[in-house]
A and B are shown apart, each in its own frame.
Chain A
Amino acid sequence: MKIGVFVKQVPAKDAPLAIVEGGAWIRESDIGFETNEPDSYALEEALRLKEKHSGEVVAISMGPERAKQTIKEALAKGADRGIHVADNDFFKLDPLNSARSLAAAVKSENFDLILTGLQSDDQGFGQTGVLLAELLGRPHATIIMAIEVDAGGGRMKLKRELEAGWFQWVELPLPAVLSIQSGINKPRYATLKGIMAAKKKEIATVQRASLGISDSPTQRVERIYVPQKTKKTEFISGQPKEIAAKLIEKLRHEARVL
């Protein structure tokens, strides 16, 4: 089974976010980056499917040069090769043009299965997997909590998470695109052996500009900003003991909830 897994590089979870003047984006110069956590579940699922059914796992990431690090991490965990779709201004793309670029970059791979995370922790559009399916003419399912590929490899049974504690089994033919729900598995760590092996694995680079995807956007982010507070928060400060005494006092006598 030939599996393509899309992994995005995003600002590290604990990175302090500063917004550039004018609000076009965040200041990237002083912060660290990491693999988008929801995508690490998709990668793990791809590796497990390969271990079970054999085949190949290709990790694809779009972004500036630094995005290669995310591909390298995927290779160290066991992906076989990588495709870097290079674009320094990736953050300016809308979801549809992102997906069009990715679809164009991988079309000739003819993956049996494409996996994505549920959404990115930076822009959080949550559309890439569904759009890739539409653009590549494949069926899709999202928010997947279990994948069972039948013996012939032609169909899959999938457990979808719905809202409020409900689930549903659905059946899909392959090839297909799946968006994986976070928590479906426990992502592995790269081993030293894996990291060494990754050095010999291939990362192909495709310039996004060479794919012939128009930049005419369907939507435009005018500015990003720190949201205005809708509620006035009373901050309590001091030594831990003082804070505890003040907070209990307020919960008891001001909010009257204790």
Chain B
Amino acid sequence: MKILLITEQRDGKSSKVSFETLAAAQQIVQHTKGTLTGLVIGKGVAALADELAGYQLDDVLLIEHDLLDQYTPDGFSIALRQVIESAKPDLVLLPHTYQVRDFAPKLAASLGKGTPGEGGKGMIGDCIGYRYENGKLIFVRQMFQGRTAADVVFAGEAPWIATFQAGAFRADLAVKHAGGKAPVESANVDLKPEQIRTKPLELFREAKQAVDLTQAPILISVGRGIKAPENIAIAEKLAKLMGGEICASRPICDEGWLPMDRQIGSSGQTVAPKLYFALGISGAIQHVVGMKGSRTIAAINKDQNAPIFEVADYGVVGDIFEIVPALIEELEKAHH
């Protein structure tokens, strides 16, 4: 199987999840006995191609163009379509980032356009792993907000596109090149300004981060189970007694019950405290990717099948409005 790995960069650095996906690609190519090509796309990114070539790959493609300096879905999908249609990989792997989910389905659907049978390829997105069984590659992704997993296989003709979720593979397991470096080759793409319909403007951060949750040793996190903004006070009280900070899953910040800078998950902060205590959080994927590296995870949820228990060390199936006051009482008792 011929595999093409497309990396992502920001601020002149390849992202960590790119190396995680590289590790996945290296593992898959060992099973399927094929070749692995890495790809770096952008402008002025030759150094990143050189860095990627230091890993175990057959070769690296460098795609540079003035119109790829800033990301646009049109620019990236037109350029990558040309590369894929000429390099003819069987499987294209990408990290599942906000940028990739913005263009990869379009790229897949545009492949083979204008050929008999209208073309159009599929993408299996947001995979958390794969299995190789009897010569078949099976991708594992989550459904129902992580309450179920699904085995998904490609159908029809290659190329196929799959993306891996952040944290699905370990970046430190990406193998360095055995014999020095893989060759880097530049590939030309044909792009015209009028093909790009999006005009990217300024990048910015909203408010100054008032609190750096990544530095907090203990985090008490609230989810939908907290039910109403006035109930956050009991979680804050628990946080104070435990010497921790309060944070939340996305819906709580969307509601405005806690500020956005207290949000943990793919669109918020990624944390790894010594204790992460989840109160009424079901554990949707988007949340779990931001906290699963925590040393100890405790969770209270009324649903015994809540996916948060997949990652919890200590679990309580119950009502947070009964358990949290009891915890507060227990901690206050110890303080006296």
Tell whether A and B belong to one assembly: yes
The A/B interface has a contact count, at CB < 8 Å, of 249
Contact A96 B108 (CB under 8 A): yes
> B14 an interface residue at 8 Å Cβ cutoff?
no
> A35 an interface residue at 8 Å Cβ cutoff?
no
- Residues in A with CB closer than 8 Å to B106 are 130-131, 133-134, 140
Stretch of B32-40, B49-57, B327-335 lying at the A interface: B327-335
- Residues in A with CB closer than 8 Å to B307 are 227
Specify the main secondary structure of chain B where it touches its partner.
mixed
Cβ 8 A contact of B327, one of A130, A163, A244: A244
- Residues in B with CB closer than 8 Å to A226 are 147-149, 305
- Residues in A with CB closer than 8 Å to B134 are none
Stretch of B22-30, B138-146, B179-187 lying at the A interface: B138-146
> B198 an interface residue at 8 Å Cβ cutoff?
yes
Contact B199 A247 (CB under 8 A): no
What distance in Å separates the Cβ of A64 from its nearest Cβ neighbour in chain B? 18
Contact A243 B323 (CB under 8 A): yes
What distance in Å separates the Cβ of B229 from its nearest Cβ neighbour in chain A? 13
> A34 an interface residue at 8 Å Cβ cutoff?
no
Cα separation A57 to B311 with both chains bound (whole Å): 42
- Residues in B with CB closer than 8 Å to A163 are 97-98, 266-267
> B65 an interface residue at 8 Å Cβ cutoff?
no
Name which residue of chain A comes closest to B204, CB basis: A167
Task: Give residues 214-258 of A contacting B (CB, 8 Å).
Answer: 216-227, 229-231, 233-237, 240-241, 243-245, 247-248, 250-251, 255, 257-258
Contact A171 B254 (CB under 8 A): no
Cα separation A221 to B124 with both chains bound (whole Å): 10
Cβ 8 A contact of A250, one of B200, B285, B314: B314
> B190 an interface residue at 8 Å Cβ cutoff?
no
Interface residues on chain A, number (Cβ under 8 Å): 77
- Residues in A with CB closer than 8 Å to B110 are 134
Specify the main secondary structure of chain A where it touches its partner.
mixed
Cβ 8 A contact of B203, one of A127, A157, A168, A258: A168
Cα separation A112 to B179 with both chains bound (whole Å): 55
> B173 an interface residue at 8 Å Cβ cutoff?
no
- Residues in B with CB closer than 8 Å to A167 are 203-206
Cα separation A237 to B79 with both chains bound (whole Å): 57
Contact A248 B327 (CB under 8 A): yes
Contact A225 B149 (CB under 8 A): yes
> B310 an interface residue at 8 Å Cβ cutoff?
yes
Task: Give residues 1-46 of A contacting B (CB, 8 Å).
Answer: 11, 14, 16-17, 19, 26
Task: Give residues 114-142 of B contacting A (CB, 8 Å).
Answer: 120-126, 138, 141-142
- Residues in A with CB closer than 8 Å to B209 are 165
Stretch of A75-83, A116-124, A189-197, A200-208 lying at the B interface: A116-124
| Residues of B in contact with A (beta carbons under 8 Å apart) | 73-74, 97-99, 101-103, 105-106, 108-110, 120-126, 138, 141-156, 160, 197-206, 209, 217-218, 242, 250-251, 253-254, 260-261, 266-270, 274-275, 285, 295-296, 298, 303, 305, 307, 309-318, 322-323, 325-327, 329-331, 334
The 10 closest A-B pairs by CB, nearest first: A218-B122, A183-B254, A244-B326, A139-B197, A127-B105, A169-B201, A257-B275, A171-B199, A240-B326, A227-B149
Name 24 interchain pairs, CB-CB below 8 A, sorted by A: A17-B144, A96-B109, A96-B122, A123-B143, A139-B73, A142-B98, A167-B206, A168-B202, A169-B201, A171-B199, A181-B267, A218-B108, A218-B154, A219-B152, A219-B155, A226-B147, A234-B314, A236-B315, A237-B316, A241-B326, A247-B327, A248-B327, A248-B330, A248-B331
| Residues of A in contact with B (beta carbons under 8 Å apart) | 11, 14, 16-17, 19, 26, 94-96, 99-100, 121-127, 130-131, 133-135, 139-143, 157, 161-173, 181-183, 216-227, 229-231, 233-237, 240-241, 243-245, 247-248, 250-251, 255, 257-258
